Amino acid sequence: MLAITQLCKAYGDTPVFAGVDLRVAPGEFVAIVGESGVGKSTLLNCIAGLDSVSAGSVRIDGLEVTTLAEPDAALLRRRRLGFVFQAFHVLPHLSVFHNVALPLLLLKRPDAARVREVLAAVGLDALADRLPRQLSGGQLQRVAIARALVHRPALILADEPTGNLDPGTAERVMDLFATQVRHEGAACVLATHSRAAAARADRTLALSADGIGPA
């Protein structure tokens, strides 16, 4: 599903990480831990083709992401990826319902029942008609999670997805990711510094400046 080989990333002369090797199979749940600033978000962005790499390879379904040009990169993300952004990136003028429905609309597969189902799964069914500015941080985070999962992506990339949630809600959200992995065969890469969240993964890896390895 995902194969990363000798991936290196620097911003100008400042290296972030080098020599990152990682393979994730369908049905596998991997947590990436590491202190703040180590490059977890950068790594997820590089996997999704949202940031350039300095060297190395990222393949999704055998397709080299690092050299994929738009609009092919956007199409790959739309069809195959579910990305939970650390900063949510919900659309401010769309309701909760329409934010979550958007990935299905872009795929020309509108499905209101599915939207309701994921909203219920993250506990937002009562807030479907609200605008993002009428939500708390934890509620916005759950909109971002529902939007990332609504189209049943083959690869889920989640950046600190429980950072704004209380322990009970975080647990339910982690159940949702686990269901997607165990029952739908998705691959999931989760960046987190929550021990409870990392404990739900099959493997926990620590990212550092010179690579990635068992935590």
Site residues for ligand ADP per CB under 6 A: 11, 16, 34, 36-42
Stretch that binds Mg ion, among 40-48, 132-140, 170-178, 180-188 (CB under 5 A): 40-48
Question: What gap in Å lies between CA 4 and CA 196, rounded to an integer?
Answer: 26
159: Cβ contacts below 8 Å, ≥ 6 apart: 40, 41, 44, 83, 84, 85, 86, 191
Question: Does 45 interact with Mg ion (rule: CB under 5 A)?
Answer: no
Question: What gap in Å lies between CA 57 and CA 7, rounded to an integer?
Answer: 6
Q: Residues 20, 41, 142, 174: which binds Mg ion (CB under 5 A)?
A: 41
69: Cβ contacts below 8 Å, ≥ 6 apart: none
Straight-line distance from the first to the last Cα atom of the chain, in angstroms, rounded to the nearest whole number: 22
Find which of ligand ADP, Mg ion, none residue 69 binds, CB within 5 to 8 Å per kind.
none
Number of residues forming the site for Mg ion (CB under 5 A): 2
| Shortest distance (Å) from residue 174 CB to Mg ion | 18
Residue labelled with tokens 């029942």:
113
Number of other residues whose CB lies within 10 A of the CB of residue 55: 13
| Shortest distance (Å) from residue 188 CB to ligand ADP | 17
Q: Provide φ and ψ at 192, rounded to 5°.
A: -155, 155
Find which of ligand ADP, Mg ion, none residue 37 binds, CB within 5 to 8 Å per kind.
ligand ADP
| Shortest distance (Å) from residue 9 CB to ligand ADP | 8
Find which of Mg ion, ligand ADP, none residue 42 binds, CB within 5 to 8 Å per kind.
ligand ADP
Find which of ligand ADP, Mg ion, none residue 82 binds, CB within 5 to 8 Å per kind.
none
**Between 34 and 82, whose beta carbon lies closer to ligand ADP?**
34
The pair of structure tokens assigned to 165 is 């949630």
| Shortest distance (Å) from residue 23 CB to ligand ADP | 21
The pair of structure tokens assigned to 111 is 């499905």
**Between 178 and 206, whose beta carbon lies closer to ligand ADP?**
206
175: Cβ contacts below 8 Å, ≥ 6 apart: none
**Between 45 and 66, whose beta carbon lies closer to Mg ion?**
45
**Between 40 and 77, whose beta carbon lies closer to Mg ion?**
40
The pair of structure tokens assigned to 124 is 């937002």
